[in-house]
Amino acid sequence: MKTIIQFYSKAKSYESLSNFYNECAQVEIDEFGAYEKALEAMIEAKRQLDKSDATNKAQKQNMLLTKIRYLEKFCEARQVLNQGNSDAMCAIALTLVDAPGVEDAV
């Protein structure tokens, strides 16, 4: 993983690096259920995309921001549940269920 990051960084291929972090986030969710790590990877993907000169950059940034917000809400719901507040967790979960495109992020 470090080698791939170094390769893209040295090549200043920030859009590709952003895509790599985005894929890493998806693997963290699908394979390990590590939503907090996935959130960190998504934030890094956004940071790398910000540096790029990608086509449709604004659209891609908005997509990443939406995913980040959904992941933040989901992580918040998990934290609240761990603290024993199931009512607050249900309220957060209901807002996520009604959110458009949430299944792409979570």
Identify which of 91, 61, 48, 60 has the alpha carbon closest to the alpha carbon of residue 73. Answer: 91
Domain of 72 in residue numbering reads as 2-105
Residue 105 has pLDDT above 90, yes or no: no
Q: Give pLDDT tens digits for 48-89.
A: 999 999 999 999 999 999 999 999 999 999 999 999 999 999
- Residue 33 has a pLDDT of 95
Q: Give pLDDT tens digits for 3-53.
A: 999 999 999 999 999 999 999 999 999 999 999 999 999 999 999 999 999
Extended beta strands in 13-75, E state: none
| Count of domains forming the chain | 1
| Cα→Cα distances 74→11, 26, 29, Å | 34, 14, 12
Q: Tell me how far apart the alpha carbons of residues 54 and 62 are, in angstroms, rounded to a whole number.
A: 13
